[in-house]
């Protein structure tokens, strides 16, 4: 066996149905007396329910979380945090809300408890992405890793069918790249393969029966495995492209991952035979990139960047930004090949084997 390094991130995970009821005890455990609750505007009702649950331990509610964690939103939320004299944050939502909680923790060392309502996975990572003046940058620091994550399957029951698929594909992307990222190792590869298998199978079941609690539980469990991979393994070309597209063109996060993933996987496939063998087992397909594309298309999820608002003339700019500061990638990054990848993703072409 090849030498490897595996670093487990310190996080407490509570998984199940109805686990939200344990939130007050978890805040007590962390010593948080006044928690500011973070949500987006559409999820404000869920935030208010948490405030009712916490009673006097709730300092207040902020509902302005936004995609890609704009710095100006963080500054507004931070001022609110200080005005409320809060000493911790509770984030309920997807990647936008979790990202805002991380941004506050980065600046204040505030303890965080996260209640994910999607499969985004940010809750299990020490990575934060922030957008300023049209550029999205990322950094890795344990200061932003949530202390406790409460997975309550009930929150995912109301995810619309298409959003379920795009959020699930976002999760799958974390595990796919963990199979061949710079920090890849046998432990993460086991988690990645099982996470991809659980999620792809669950997405098909959820599509047929959205309220199936067992299927939703499997999907959330798969998302957790994928998120652990993201937090410990690292990323490659796929995430670089999505960060560029999100930060520079303001494309929606999960939908962009859904469109780009099959093409990034096909690009790297020749350089990662062991990872592709794992992908074939996990997806049950000899062409995993096409299988992921088909899963999205059959579920009504987007398969083309042009349908997300990406201008065709922006392709060259996206490639240029990608090459300016590339992430590690197992296959060399070649300008012409990247342009071909981006054009296929823009047009919504099915990847070939």
- Torsion-angle region of 226 (φ positive above 0: left; ψ -120 to 50: alpha; else: beta): alpha
Query: What residues does 128 pair with on adjacent strands?
Result: 139
For Cα atoms 251, 316, 258, give the angle at the middle one, nearest 5 degrees. Answer: 35
Q: Is the Cα dihedral 206, 209, 212, 214 positive or negative?
A: negative
- The pLDDT of residue 230: 87
Can you list the domains of the chain with their CATH numbers? 12-156 (3.40.50.1970), 161-347 (1.20.1090.10)
Answer yes or no: are the C-beta atoms of 255 and 304 closer than 8 Å: no
Task: Kindly give the parts of the chain with pLDDT less than 50.
Answer: none
- The pLDDT of residue 316: 97
- The pLDDT of residue 353: 63
What would the pLDDT profile of 192-229 be if each residue is shown by its tens digit? 999 999 999 999 999 889 999 999 999 999 999 999 99
> Which of 113, 230, 207 has the alpha carbon at shortest distance from 159?
207
Residue 220 DSSP code = H
pTM equals 0.90
What would the pLDDT profile of 6-25 be if each residue is shown by its tens digit? 888 888 999 999 999 999 99
């Amino acid at each position: 066996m090849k030498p490897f390094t595996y670093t487990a991130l310190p996080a407490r995970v509570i998984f199940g149905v109805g686990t939200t009821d344990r939130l007050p005890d978890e805040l007590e455990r962390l010593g948080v007396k006044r928690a500011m609750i973070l949500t987006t505007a559409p999820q404000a009702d869920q935030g208010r329910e948490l405030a009712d649950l916490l009673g006097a331990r709730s300092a207040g509610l902020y509902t302005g979380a936004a995609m890609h964690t704009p710095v100006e939103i963080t500054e507004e939320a931070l001022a609110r945090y200080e005005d409320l004299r809060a000493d911790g944050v509770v984030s309920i939502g997807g990647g936008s809300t979790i990202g805002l909680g991380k941004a506050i923790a980065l600046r204040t060392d505030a303890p965080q408890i996260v209640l994910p309502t999607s499969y985004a996975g940010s809750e299990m990572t020490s990575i934060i992405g922030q957008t300023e003046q049209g550029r999205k940058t990322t950094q890795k620091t344990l200061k932003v890793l949530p202390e406790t994550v409460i997975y309550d399957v009930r929150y995912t029951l109301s995810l619309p069918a298409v959003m379920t698929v795009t959020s699930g594909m976002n999760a799958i992307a974390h595990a796919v790249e963990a199979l061949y990222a710079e920090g890849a190792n046998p432990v993460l590869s086991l988690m990645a393969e099982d996470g991809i298998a659980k999620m792809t199978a669950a997405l098909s079941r959820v599509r047929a029966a959205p309220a199936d609690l067992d299927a939703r539980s499997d999907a959330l469990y798969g998302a957790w495995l994928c998120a652990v991979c993201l937090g410990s393994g690292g990323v490659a070309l796929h995430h670089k492209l999505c960060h560029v597209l999100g930060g520079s063109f303001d494309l929606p996060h999960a939908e962009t991952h859904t469109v780009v993933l099959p093409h990034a996987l096909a690009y790297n496939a020749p350089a990662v035979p062991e990872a592709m063998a794992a992908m074939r087992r996990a997806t049950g397909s000899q062409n995993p990139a096409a299988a992921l594309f088909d899963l999205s298309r059959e579920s009504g999820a987007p398969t083309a960047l042009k349908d997300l608002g990406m201008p065709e003339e922006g392709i060259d700019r996206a490639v240029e930004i990608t090459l300016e500061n590339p992430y590690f990638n197992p296959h060399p990054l070649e300008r012409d090949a990247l342009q071909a990848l981006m054009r296929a993703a823009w047009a919504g072409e099915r990847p070939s084997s």
